[in-house]
Chain A
Amino acid sequence: MFPQRLLPFVLMLPELAVVGVFFLWPSVEGALESLRESNAFGLGSRFAGLANFRAALSGGYLQALEVTIIFTVITTVASMGLGLVLAVQVEQVGRFKSLYRTLFVWSYAVPGAVAGSIWLFLFEPHVGPGARFLGAVGIHWNFALSGTQAFVLICAMTVWQQTAYDFVFFSAGLQAIPLDVVEAAMVDGAGPLRRFWRIVFPLLGPTTLFVVVMDVLAALFGSFAVIDVISQGGPGGSTTTLVYALYRDGFQNGDVGLAGAETVLLFAIAGILLAIQFRVINKKVHYR
């Protein structure tokens, strides 16, 4: 440890300045804005108490909350399941292990909006290969008209990307499991499935918790690009998540107070997840 007292402040100053101006200031501003209501001409504003929150928590926002929750649960469960199965299989494979790792990781690097564009084309109702395939097997596909189909498409695309992320973490988690533990179970005559559920899966506990939190965050906040490219929240709000509702209310409808309240609500949700994640990081779960 160095004894200087001034130098560390100087070292921290640039970071503090940027975070202060572009993170803390807007956060406080947003919180204040949520308590105010601008008048009809947008010229002035007055204190409005919790009116914006009352407005936020009625009507369309509750539908967005529901969409967000269902979307989050489906994509988290599906990506984790797929990512875990793939990681377990790849770890057991003898040859081409690193080739498989590459083949299952790359889709995570594709920009969300670009991935959305590709899937938009694949399932474009008239010329899209996916749409043609579905038509051939008797499914009438038009996600511009069917809310369910639009929702399914967004989910599928998100799983396509998020599985790669989960795969990376489960692979690393599996590699960290000591070989002797698994060997001991083999000597005791435990079959592969039993070995997995009784020994490997519990040892993956901390990894699994971390992946759950990251998947939930990705679903909550990372899905904007995909939704904006594929469905713009429609049809009928079926793909409007909380972040998309905030974008629509703030930028398309220009309701500053309402958007402020929605921002504060998002902050609260993120804060709860943050608290959970820090407990996960700090708790060294070992099951021994």
Chain B
Amino acid sequence: MMTADRRDQPEVGPAPALGPPKLTRRVRRGSGASTVRHVGLALVAALFALPLYLCAVVATHSASDLLRGVPILPGGQIWANLSTLVKGIPDTPKLVSMLVNSAVMALGVTVLKLALSIPAAYAVSFFRFRGRMVMFALIFVTLMMPIEVRFFPTYAVTANLGLLNTQTGLILPLVASATAVFLLRQFFRTFPLELADAARLDGVGPMRFLVAIVLPLSRPVLAAVAVLEFIYGWNQYLWPLLVASSLKRATVVIGVKGLIGAAQSFAVPQWDLVMLLALVALIPPVLVVVVMQRWFVRGLMSGIS
């Protein structure tokens, strides 16, 4: 009976059953309720997906189709629209250059964040020294101060350093927070300290211990941090808007906003192109989350565990 319950209970059916005789009845009632549940969930999921669906459909039509009504089914204009985007619209950045800028920014943020955070988190987790408290204070302060809070003075400092419209100026201020140190430290804390002591007694130095033991065992949390940082970097808007104002430096997210303005200046507003570029801009982060969902969720969760 125990095993039967274990198998069935996760579905938390409506009525408690105390023994095998009632099992069939419970399953039947459960499946009736579950059909309603499936229909409800599917409807909500469809509602959530509706903006994305309409965006994708409009991207496959011509702008003038929109004047006649709302297209419900995909049209045949997607390649024509794409080639218009690739050729470029006057006064807007080139598609390829935007995608390269976004990729450099997202990967730059990810790689730099890991490169800075891993040694820092390792230092506070596996060494006992006075400076540890400094790092904890930094973690504490930076954790809740996103770039949206500190962008104004940060812009002044970045400008003074002559880093406007450079990749360095775009990436470094976004990397400047100890959030990833916090996530890594949460994970490193679960390592038994005897492991480090044993390594020390065997004559294994701290750097070899990091590379040979800690990093291989930390793959899940490293993947989680990488996924979070990639999305964080790709999705940035405010900071590149301020720092990467030249057409040459624009990221694809910035490009979408720019294209809205340009599209309005046509006799027929080119919403089809805007929606196509929006689709191009959202596919990489959405794909990363869907494919690496497990790590993404784990990364989000590790903040509270």
Contacts and interface: CB of A to CB of B under 8 A. Distances in A.
Interface of A: 1-5, 7-9, 11-12, 14-16, 18-19, 21-23, 25-27, 29-30, 33, 86, 89-94, 96, 100-115, 117-122, 124, 127, 129, 132, 160, 163-165, 168-169, 172, 179, 182-183, 186-187, 189, 192, 206-207, 210, 217, 221-222, 224-225, 228-229, 243, 246-247, 250-251, 259-260, 262-263, 266-267, 270-271, 273-274, 277-278, 280-281
Contact of A1 (B128, B152, B154, B282): B128
Interface in B214-257: 231, 234-238, 241-242, 253-254, 256-257
Contact of A119 (B34, B51, B70, B237): B51
Given A21-B157, A23-B150, A179-B9, A270 B144 contact: yes
Contacts of A277: 143-144
Contacts of B282: 109-111, 114-115
Given A89-B37, A127-B269, A117 B152 contact: no
A111 B281 contact: yes
| Interface size, B (range) | 35 or more
Interface in B96-141: 115-117, 119-120, 122-124, 126-129, 131-132, 134-135, 138, 140-141
A16 B138 contact: yes
B262 interface: no
A112 B176 CA distance: 21
B152 A259 contact: yes
Given A104-B48, A109-B231, A12 B119 contact: yes
Given A15-B117, A22-B172, A26-B154, A217 B70 contact: no
A23 B11 contact: no
| Interface of B, helix, strand, loop or mixed by DSSP | helix
Given A5-B129, A121-B58, A129-B70, A30 B5 contact: no
Interface string B149-168: 11111111110010000000
B286 interface: yes
| Secondary structure dominating the interface of A | helix
B212 interface: no
Nearest to B148: A221
B253 A15 contact: no
Interface centre among B66, B148, B237, B241 (most CB of A within 10 A): B148
Contacts of B155: 251
Nearest to B58: A121
Interface of B: 5-6, 9-12, 14, 16, 18, 34, 37-38, 40-41, 44-45, 48-49, 51-52, 54-55, 58, 66-67, 69-70, 115-117, 119-120, 122-124, 126-129, 131-132, 134-135, 138, 140-146, 148-158, 161, 172-173, 175-178, 181, 193, 196-197, 200, 206, 209, 231, 234-238, 241-242, 253-254, 256-257, 260, 269, 271, 274-275, 278, 281-282, 285-286, 288-290, 293, 296-297, 300-301, 303-304
28 contacts: A12-B131, A16-B134, A19-B138, A22-B154, A23-B154, A26-B156, A103-B48, A104-B45, A106-B286, A108-B289, A109-B282, A109-B290, A110-B285, A111-B281, A117-B278, A168-B300, A217-B146, A224-B237, A246-B152, A251-B155, A251-B242, A262-B152, A263-B152, A266-B149, A267-B150, A274-B140, A277-B143, A277-B144
B237 A11 contact: no
A129 B132 CA distance: 56
**Most A-side CB within 10 Å, residue of B9, B40, B123, B200:** B123
